[in-house]
Amino acid sequence: MLQTKDQQWLHDVIGRLTAKMEWVSEKSRHKIPYTTVDGTHDDRAAHNPSGDLADGINWWTNGFWGGMMWLMHHETGREAYKTIAAISEEMLDRCFEEFYGLHHDVGFMWLPTSVANYRVTKNPVSRRRSLHAANLLAGRFNMAGGFIRAWNDLEEGDTRGWAIIDCMLNIPLLYWASEETGDPRFKQIAMKHADTAMDAFVRPDGSVNHIVEFDPEHGGVVRTYGGQGYEEGSSWTRGQAWGLYGYMMSYTHTRKDEYLQTAKRIAHYFIANMPEDGVIPVDFRQPAEPKLEDDTAAVVAACGLIEIAKVVGAYEQRLYLDAAVKLLRVVDERCDWTQASDAIVQRGSASYHNKVHHQPIIYGDYYFMEAIFKLKGNDLYLW
Ligand code: GLY
């Protein structure tokens, strides 16, 4: 699948990944990292920086560390990775007890941890956790609007009608639950959400909205928001990547052709907007200055592009693969492979209007790793 010139590079990156993860996994074995402080992983299981219910142990990124461990276990066969993955999976049980901090991101949290564990080991406790999380997600479905509610806020703003494009990565938990139990309800909800989002989020040019507000009582779009992008109507790049990869996931689980066509449409928009140097901005429609970048958008998009390449003909395949390899090579050049940082991908941006930019964020490392193993043809599909 890879061009000869890229094969040596891929081999070298995998060498760097395995060397770095061997010591980082031990150093951070009892943590659930989100970012780094002076090069050292922080720990969202132990600290809640904002005091918000959805932060701390309930933080939406808390599944990625476990997911990295499962990917590394699959690649290397090293038992230690499995043990470390189980530590974070068990820590997440606190979220079920607390409950109030949980929202639609239960897919991001339990697919790469308990579903991954169950897929690999058939551990019944992991199955129970995964089905519990899937039921929480299904319970967020709004019947009138045909969408899954994103967040829980009522006091700081009424989000009863809000859905976000990122949810396309949560609904594979529902596909998994139907595949596992034979009960079609979960898949029905997932597909209804994906269908609603196709109309409401994906614009004619292939770009996507981040947030859409529906009327929670009667359905129908009320308005859109710029969310983590520059402004309403702009094009937050990680959101484009969530849409691209997310629709590909829905296609993988259902084989509904419209999902593949939607993933391709978003991919074409993404590729057409990739700057010459391959460095992805935080928003494709942001002002020229400041030059804010987000390598996490690049690696999520690369995963989706590689998945599209797997299901199209040989001629089409090149377009998607070449774009994915370009994105990953650029990110690789900007990674930290030394012991100065516990993180690999260094230039992530959580959102355009955040104060902090160009920082390591755990999903940068997770999706970089996933994309690299996909290129090798040895990925453990956790979605
Ligand atoms: N799912 C939230 C984000 O991508 O930052």
Please write the tens of the pLDDT for every residue from 7-41: 999 999 999 999 999 999 999 999 999 999 999 99
Task: Calculate what percentage of the chain has a pLDDT beyond 70.
Answer: 99
**pLDDT at res. 286:** 98
Question: Over the chain, what is the mean pLDDT?
Answer: 97
pLDDT at 157 over 90: no
Q: Could you tell me if the CB of 228 is within 6 A of ligand 1?
A: yes
Q: Could you tell me if the CB of 119 is within 6 A of ligand 1?
A: no
- Bridge partners of 40? 37
DSSP-based three-state secondary structure for 221: strand
Nearest-atom index, ligand 1, CA of 238: 4
Q: Could you tell me if the CB of 187 is within 6 A of ligand 1?
A: no
- Bridge partners of 36? 41
Specify the residue with its C-alpha closest to ligand 1, atom 1. 166
Between the CA of 90 and the centroid of ligand 1 the distance, in Å, is: 23
Q: Could you say which of 38, 55, 153, 166 is catalytic? A: 166
Pocket mutation for ligand 1, best pick of 34, 55, 59, 60 (most atoms within 8 Å of C-beta): 60
Binding annotation for substrate = 105, 166, 238, 242, 351
**pLDDT at res. 154:** 72
Q: Could you tell me if the CB of 196 is within 6 A of ligand 1?
A: no
Task: Calculate what percentage of the chain has a pLDDT beyond 90.
Answer: 97
Express each pLDDT in 328-357 by its tens digit.
999 999 999 999 999 999 999 999 999 999
Nearest Cα residue to 311 out of 243, 247, 242, 240: 247
Span 148-156, average pLDDT: 86
Q: Could you say which of 6, 42, 105, 365 is catalytic? A: 105
Express each pLDDT in 83-116 by its tens digit.
999 999 999 999 999 999 999 999 999 999 999 9
Between the CA of 108 and the centroid of ligand 1 the distance, in Å, is: 10
Nearest-atom index, ligand 1, CA of 108: 1
Between the CA of 350 and the centroid of ligand 1 the distance, in Å, is: 7
Nearest-atom index, ligand 1, CA of 169: 1
**Structural domains in the chain plus CATH codes:** 4-376 (1.50.10.10)
Express each pLDDT in 213-230 by its tens digit.
999 999 999 999 999 999
Which residues make Cβ contacts (< 8 Å) with residue 34, sequence separation at least 6? 42, 44, 59, 61, 62, 361, 362
Q: Could you tell me if the CB of 41 is within 6 A of ligand 1?
A: no
Nearest-atom index, ligand 1, CA of 105: 1
pLDDT at 363 over 90: yes
Q: State how far the Cα of 26 lies from the Cα of 28, in Å rounded to an integer.
A: 6
Q: State how far the Cα of 265 lies from the Cα of 187, in Å rounded to an integer.
A: 23
pLDDT at 319 over 90: yes
**pLDDT at res. 153:** 84
Q: State how far the Cα of 118 lies from the Cα of 97, in Å rounded to an integer.
A: 21
Task: Please confirm, yes or no, whether 105 is among the known catalytic residues.
Answer: yes
Express each pLDDT in 170-225 by its tens digit.
999 999 999 999 999 999 999 999 999 999 999 999 999 999 999 999 999 999 99
Pocket mutation for ligand 1, best pick of 151, 166, 280 (most atoms within 8 Å of C-beta): 166
Which residues make Cβ contacts (< 8 Å) with residue 40, sequence separation at least 6? 342
Specify the residue with its C-alpha closest to ligand 1, atom 2. 166
Q: Could you tell me if the CB of 350 is within 6 A of ligand 1?
A: yes
Between the CA of 320 and the centroid of ligand 1 the distance, in Å, is: 23
Binding annotation = 105, 166, 238, 242, 351
For residue 250 the two structure tokens come to 């829905």
Task: Please confirm, yes or no, whether 283 is among the known catalytic residues.
Answer: no
**pLDDT at res. 269:** 98
CA atoms in the 13 A half-sphere facing the CB of 172: 23
Q: Could you tell me if the CB of 54 is within 6 A of ligand 1?
A: no
Edge-to-edge order in the sheet of strand 211-214: 162-164, 211-214, 221-225
Between the CA of 351 and the centroid of ligand 1 the distance, in Å, is: 8
pLDDT at 1 over 80: no
Between the CA of 167 and the centroid of ligand 1 the distance, in Å, is: 9
**pLDDT at res. 355:** 97
